[in-house]
Amino acid sequence: MYSIADDDFSTLQEDRDFLEGLVLMGQVVKADSLDELARLLDLDPVLLNTAIADYNRSVEAQNDPRFHRKTLINKIDHPPFYATAKTVTVHHTLGGVEINERTQVLNSQKQPIPHLFAAGEVTGGIHGANRLGGNSFPDCIVFGRIAGTEAARN
């Protein structure tokens, strides 16, 4: 899976300089045509050209019947073209065991399970339905310290 942009991705020179640095490091692929980009990415050029043409039609119509994207701002039609590989990842889990303020794991009746403590991403309900980026660090550190202290006492 790739993110693809064209020369109109930004008007800011600092963005362009940064992108060219990524090209030099091999993290972004640059090509003068979609066919060349397909070749460099080992993709079928017909499929890539079709996908970009479909996307551009969606931008023109401000309607994306396939993926239902709401943000359709710029077509991809001015070389050079840029691509970067994308991967799917889980950055944080929101589910897990429920704990109390002493990091004791709670059973289904909300009672502490003796000698069982938890901290970090194995715990659930700390952040609600989502979390702000970076909030898992203090979560792990603070609750980890509490869990360690409580476990040593017990």
State which fold the 2-85 domain adopts.
Flavocytochrome C3; Chain A, domain 1 (3.90.700)
Q: Where in the chain is the domain with CATH 3.90.700.10?
A: 2-85
On whether the CB atoms of residues 9 and 15 are closer than 8 A, the answer is yes
Task: Please say if the pLDDT value at position 135 is more than 80.
Answer: no
H-only helix segments in 30-135: 34-41, 45-61
C-alpha dist (Å) from residue 126 to 6, 72, 142: 41, 35, 12
The pTM of this model reads: 0.62
**pLDDT per residue as tens digits for the range 60-107:** 999 999 999 888 889 999 999 999 999 877 666 677 899 999 999 999
